[in-house]
Amino acid sequence: MRNYVLTVFEKSGKKLLDESFQAANDQEAKQLGEKKLEKEGYLEHTHRCVSPEAKLILFHR
């Protein structure tokens, strides 16, 4: 399993969510990240999910 980081921001730059989670690969991480964003109501907020190599898996501005 690989460690990914999901971060959500307000327009002011304040972090609303900064959470690590594990996934087998980038595709699974993207799906898990989207589910977490939907569950928490953050789909329309600025967010990013990065891989252990700092590759952007999810990004919304």
How confident is the model at residue 2, as a pLDDT? 97
pLDDT tens sequence for the chain (61 residues): 999 999 999 999 999 999 999 999 999 999 999 999 999 999 999 999 999 999 999 999 9
How confident is the model at residue 15, as a pLDDT? 97
> If 0-12 CB within 10 Å is exposed, 13-18 middle and 19+ buried, where does residue 49 land?
buried
- What total of structural domains would you count in the chain? 1
**pTM of the complete model beyond 0.75:** yes
Domain that holds residue 55: 2-60
How confident is the model at residue 54, as a pLDDT? 96
